[in-house]
Amino acid sequence: MLANVNATRMELLRLRKRVALASRGHRLLSEKRDEISRQLIQIAREIQPLRKRVEAELLETCRRFMLARATMEPEATKAALEAPTKKFSLVVKFANIMNVRVPHLSKEMEGEIICYGFATTSGEMDVALLALERAFDNLIELAEKEKQARLLAVELQITRRRVNVLEHVVIPELHETIRFIYDKLAEAERDNISRLMKITDIIRA
């Protein structure tokens, strides 16, 4: 590779500009890597207790549904849940974290989740449905944060690779090429001085 380099001052100036640009890119990418790492750590700290809350809420909801089924006739359970009057919509918006497009989730609900008569249903069914409704907020937040964490983790991996390539490949190779051109120019300069001295000696003789 070095044998094909033009050892000229113009090439030296061009390589110096490339080194400056690569060094600036390395610094910016390192800052981006560090900030994404910080964001990931923060999200991870939020995910752990949130996941425990969601698991506890869903476990409680399942337990309540099991109790409701145990105290109701199968036909009554089916009829109570067959025609829900509550509509659920998931709204997805996007935000940028260090140029990574991450989702922000929210819910839109209409109607009442309890949509049956009370004559043939158990109070446990009411409690179970209300517990399920409460679990939605934490469940949506957990899904949002886990998706954000995945996207940031992918971007972190890409950014780390770019930083490593700049740090261990591109910048060292540029410095090596610059040193090679310096040596070639210095060698040419010494040859010129030597020739000038010989010419001077010839003229003086």
Tens digits of pLDDT across the chain (205 residues): 565 778 888 998 999 999 999 999 999 999 999 999 999 999 999 999 999 999 999 998 888 888 888 877 777 777 767 766 677 788 899 989 888 899 988 888 777 777 766 666 777 787 888 888 888 889 999 999 999 999 999 999 999 999 999 999 999 999 999 999 888 888 888 877 877 787 877 777 6
pLDDT for 129 equals 80
How many C-beta atoms surround the C-beta of residue 95 within 10 A? 10
Strand partners, 96: 101
* pLDDT at res. 119: 63
pLDDT score of 149: 95
Other CB atoms closer than 10 Å to residue 99's CB: what's the count?
Answer: 9
Is residue 205, in this structure, part of any structural domain at all? no
| 105 found inside a domain | yes
163 inside domain: yes
Amino acid (one-letter) located at 205: A
Whether 166 is in a domain gets the answer yes
Rg of the chain's alpha carbons, rounded to an integer?
35
Inside any domain, residue 94: yes
Long-range contacts from 90-99, C-beta under 8 angstroms, 24+ separation: 90/140, 97/36, 97/39, 97/148, 97/152, 98/32, 98/35, 98/36, 98/39, 98/152, 98/155, 99/32, 99/155
At residue 137, the pLDDT reads 85
Expressed as residue numbers, the domain containing 106 is 2-192
- DSSP three-state, residue 53: helix
Report the phi/psi class of residue 99: left, alpha or beta, with left for phi > 0 and alpha for psi in -120 to 50: left
**Predicted local confidence at residue 84, as pLDDT:** 64
Residue 9 lies in a domain: yes
Return the ∠ at Cα 168 (arms to 165 and 170), rounded to 5°.
60
pLDDT at residue 43, as a whole number? 94
Tokens of 66: 């099991």
Number of folded domains in the chain? 1
**What's the pLDDT at 2?**
61
What CATH number is attached to the domain comprising 168?
1.10.287.3240
The pTM of this model reads 0.75
Residue 198 belongs to a domain: no
The pLDDT of residue 27: 96
Is residue 204 in some structural domain? no
